[in-house]
């Protein structure tokens, strides 16, 4: 199977936009710092989407233990890791009102689920994109 490159970038940007919307809803701070923090989050969301789209390269290699050869189990772990990363990054956001952006755990988990399910969402939206 070929390495997916364009799809993870598009899905990472879309999930990053959702992250910015969640941060604005959670009243994280002034607009400039919230958007700059959200744009910084897009980088690691693209990287995690890249992992989600190319998970079969690792699970089909035969080098991993049997549990990690199950793609659904690895995607669930990826969703949890993404939620922890998103929540940790929001907790150290310096220019917010109070300590951290106060991004709720449910918003972090939703972002993790979006990243993990992005390979399944992509076929539904790629027909609407101009490329």
Kindly state the tokens that stand for 100. Answer: 């951290």
In a domain, 82, yes or no: yes
| Residue with tokens 């994109």, as numbered in its chain | 129
How crowded is the C-beta side of 66, counted as CA atoms within 13 Å? 0
What is the tally of structural domains in the chain?
1
In a domain, 3, yes or no: no
Q: What are phi and psi of 14, to 5 degrees?
A: -65, -45
User: Which pLDDT belongs to residue 35?
Assistant: 78
- CA 50 to chain CA centroid, nearest Å: 10
Task: Return per-residue pLDDT of the chain as tens, 131 residues.
Answer: 689 999 999 999 999 999 888 887 776 567 777 777 778 889 999 999 999 999 998 888 888 888 888 899 999 999 999 999 988 887 776 665 555 556 788 989 999 999 999 999 999 999 999 98
pTM of the entire predicted model: 0.87
User: Which pLDDT belongs to residue 102?
Assistant: 65
In a domain, 105, yes or no: yes
Domain of 91? Answer: 67-120
In a domain, 31, yes or no: no
User: Which pLDDT belongs to residue 100?
Assistant: 54
In a domain, 111, yes or no: yes
In a domain, 73, yes or no: yes
Q: What value, to the nearest 5°, has the Cα angle with vertex 109 and ends 13 and 2?
A: 45
User: Which pLDDT belongs to residue 91?
Assistant: 76
In a domain, 92, yes or no: yes
Cα(30)–Cα(49) distance, rounded to whole angstroms?
28
User: Which pLDDT belongs to residue 27?
Assistant: 62
In a domain, 95, yes or no: yes
């Amino acid at each position: 199977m070929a390495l997916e490159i364009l799809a993870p970038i598009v899905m990472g940007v879309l999930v990053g936009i959702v992250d910015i919307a969640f941060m604005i809803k959670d009243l994280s701070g002034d607009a400039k710092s919230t958007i700059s923090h959200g744009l910084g989050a897009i980088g690691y969301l693209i990287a995690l989407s890249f992992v989600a789209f190319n998970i079969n390269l690792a699970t089909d290699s035969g080098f991993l233990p049997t549990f990690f050869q199950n793609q659904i189990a690895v995607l669930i772990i990826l969703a949890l890791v993404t939620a922890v990363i998103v929540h940790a990054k929001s907790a150290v956001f310096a220019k917010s009102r109070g300590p951290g952006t106060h991004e709720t755990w449910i918003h972090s988990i939703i972002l993790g689920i979006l990243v993990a399910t992005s390979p399944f969402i992509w076929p539904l939206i790629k027909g609407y994109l101009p490329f």
